[in-house]
Structure 1
Amino acid sequence: MSVIYVLLAISIAVALVFFIAFIIAVKKGQYDDSYTHSVRMLFEDEIIKEKSKK
């Protein structure tokens, strides 16, 4: 029964480490999308043409 408590403690510790790593990555801007905005104007015409055909 004590093994379950040890595994539970280890899994919570690992989950906290991954959560802290995710928060740090978000704060540093790892998930900011700087590429889509620069190429969006290249693909807008195709979207408008597809809507007008329907």
Structure 2
Amino acid sequence: MQLRIQSFYVAVKVTATRKPMFLISTRIIDAKLTIIYINNEIYRYILSKG
């Protein structure tokens, strides 16, 4: 899962460097991915606590 997000992120980054218009949407996608990642971590933590 992490690897897929990584490669997707790299692909978005490459597109963004070619077309500056995409920079804003890249940041939004980046923020969403970060939120998803944090949510997963919190969920795992709660599960481990039982």
TM norm structure 1 = 0.52
Q: Distance in 2 between matches of 1:17 and 1:2?
A: 22
Aligned to 1:26: 47
Q: In the alignment, what sits opposite 1:12?
A: 33
- Tell me which amino acid in the other structure corresponds to 1:14: I
Q: Which runs of 5+ in 2 are unaligned?
A: 1-21
Structure having the higher Rg:
1
Identity %: 7
Which structure carries more helix by proportion? 2
Q: Which has the higher contact order (CA 8 A, sep 6+)?
A: 2
The count of residues paired between Structure 1 and Structure 2 equals 29
The CA distance in 2 between the partners of 1:2 and 1:26, in whole Å, is 36
1:1-53 Cα deviation digits (max 9, x unpaired): 11110001000000000000000000000xxxxxxxxxxxxxxxxxxxxxxxx
CA RMSD in angstroms comes to 0.5
Unaligned runs of 5+ in 1: 30-54
